[in-house]
Structure 1
Amino acid sequence: MVRHDRHFGTPAFFGQRIFFVISPGPDLLLSSSYSTGRGFKSGLAISLGIFGAGLPQTGLVAFGLGEIMQTMPKVALAVKVIGVCYLLWLGGISFALGINIHKVLSMPKLTN
């Protein structure tokens, strides 16, 4: 078993996470473009979606999913295969429904 000496511990991890959350990045670009282009409700909805996706991700990282994946390659492969299947499923549904990205981007604003 791989043992890593943790010099900083949990408070430093969450401090780093807060820094990454408040620093500008793709999430900020996405939420600001939705807010300016489609209105407050759309911006709030996308921000809540980003927040909701970040919670389980942070929990998995905090509880050591990375270390589990390093020590158990079959688990890492399973996570990759599940991710590929999910992306193929999303693409298949988009293709079957004829979803056009240009139509999605030109959708009207939600009313404020």
Structure 2
Amino acid sequence: MRLIDADVLKPKILEYVKALERIKYCYGYDTFGKYYNGKKSAYLNVANLIDEAPTVEERKHGHWIEHPKHPIGDCSVCGERVPIYSGSKKYKSCPYCGAKMEGVNDG
């Protein structure tokens, strides 16, 4: 999945609609009118789909709050206690909230 900025994308699509209107009048309506109207309709449909698309929350970032005497840690985002060591490796994300673990370790 790739997060995009819909507030930037939609105006760019609507710019194409305006450009199509200018081009259509350069060539004359009779010659290419139906073709440009079809393209305009497609661009407007895409702009509406952007408005209707579900909003995805950005991935949270946190760190493990380690306990000095035990191989467990609390997630700084959701607070869940997690055995943070699997063998000799730390978990890179919280299994409860999905936060990417990076940055400062408290302990």
Q: TM-score, normalized by length of structure 2?
A: 0.30
Q: Higher relative contact order at CA 8 Å, sep ≥6: structure 1 or structure 2?
A: 1
Greater helix fraction, Structure 1 or Structure 2: 1
Calculate the TM-score normalised by the size of structure 1. Answer: 0.29
Structure with bigger gyration radius: 2
Structure with more strand by fraction: 2
